[in-house]
Amino acid sequence: MISTTDYMNFVRGEYLDDFVRKEGAAVKFAVVPDGNAAADVHAALRSAAEQAGYVYAAVDAATTKVSMIDRVFHAIAAQVPWKDLARSVVQRALDELKFPAPPDEPLSLQAIAKFNDYDFQQLRKEFYRRLQHDILRDYSMAQEFRIAMVLLCQAQVSEAPDVQATADAVLQWLKGELKQVSQLRPELIYQKIARHNAQHILYSLGPWIRKAGSAGLVLDLDIRQCAVTSRNQTEQIFYTKPTVLDVYELLRQLIDATDELSSTFILVTTGNEFLSDPARGLERYWALRLRILDEVRDRHRINPYSAMIRLMPNDPTMTGASV
């Protein structure tokens, strides 16, 4: 076992500061002994992510149905600073076009054109062409996601009510709150984010965050709720045995998609039941077990590069200890 502090220092140095920052992706599993240890993991991961310049999102199986990839994405989307990211992309596009914005004024193309003594319609045409080049031609992101991001960027430089209304609809679409997708059909977005397309939308998030100038996405996924064996034991989401297998299948898909994921680090936190419960644990789903469980390992030394690692509470007298 390894302490949370030691492991997070390792994650920061080997993944967040290096591999993931260079457009890599990783899915790791942390087995914790209790809720206090889990809280330590979440706090440490959040701190490491924010210090390294990542967008951090936490998803808890107790409050989000993690057996459904669209629900996972919507929970992440509710925590992403979409407007700030869009504004960063817009600012970079204007910098590349050599059009500085007037200081102490709202960012708008009309104000920028006036400040630079330039024709507004020509600036608008050049700016939209730049967005198309930077976003719509970036095929690392799903098509509908690219369109949505262009709409958010346009809203950053326009005060027109229809543009702002479309941007609001895009935000609702990302968060799963849009009631009628017909609001976005004129913009060539024809379907809601659901189980059939949420995976590719999620894969688009890391590249978009990186394009906006941040390092990438850190997803803190807590699935300890899957170990609850009875509805009477919880007032939160209860997972039946088949639903637990759906959760494991989703995790298996994320592991297999690390070549498609980019600038994304996922840490899955789970309890000891994940290894010991024959009815709900890893033993029930060998497709996942074979991907994260080391068949050969040193009994006395920890390999922090392993897909799954056991964490112990932060105890200064035991830091670096192994069992």
Question: From its phi and psi, is residue 258 left (phi > 0), alpha (psi between -120 and 50) or beta?
Answer: alpha
pTM value is 0.93
pLDDT at 318: 39
Would residue 74 count as lying in a domain? no
Same domain as 57, residue 106: no
Same domain as 88, residue 63: no
- Which of 141, 167, 187 is a domain's end point? 187
Would residue 146 count as lying in a domain? yes
pLDDT in tens, 238-252: 999 999 999 999 999
Give dist(CA 193, CA 73) in Å, integer: 9
Would residue 26 count as lying in a domain? yes
Give the least confident one: 48-52, 135-139, 317-321.
317-321
Q: What is the CATH number of the domain that holds 233?
A: 3.40.50
Average pLDDT of 262-291?
95
Give the CA distances from residue 200 to residues 65, 92, 196, 204, 207, in Å, rounded to whole numbers and listed in that order: 18, 26, 9, 6, 12
pLDDT at 297: 66
Same domain as 260, residue 180: no
- Looking at the structure of the chain, the number of domains it has is 2
Give me the chain's average pLDDT, please.
92
Structure tokens at 257: 């998609």
Average pLDDT of 156-160?
92
Task: Count CA atoms within 13 Å of residue 188 on its CB side.
Answer: 11
Domain enclosing residue 110, as ranges: 82-187
Would residue 240 count as lying in a domain? yes
Instruction: Indicate whether 300 pLDDT > 80.
Output: no
pLDDT in tens, 264-278: 999 999 999 999 999
Same domain as 115, residue 52: no
pLDDT at 295: 60
Average pLDDT of 134-140?
94
Would residue 145 count as lying in a domain? yes
Same domain as 86, residue 57: no
The answer to whether residues 263 and 18 touch, using CB atoms and an 8 Å cutoff, is no
Would residue 115 count as lying in a domain? yes
Would residue 205 count as lying in a domain? no
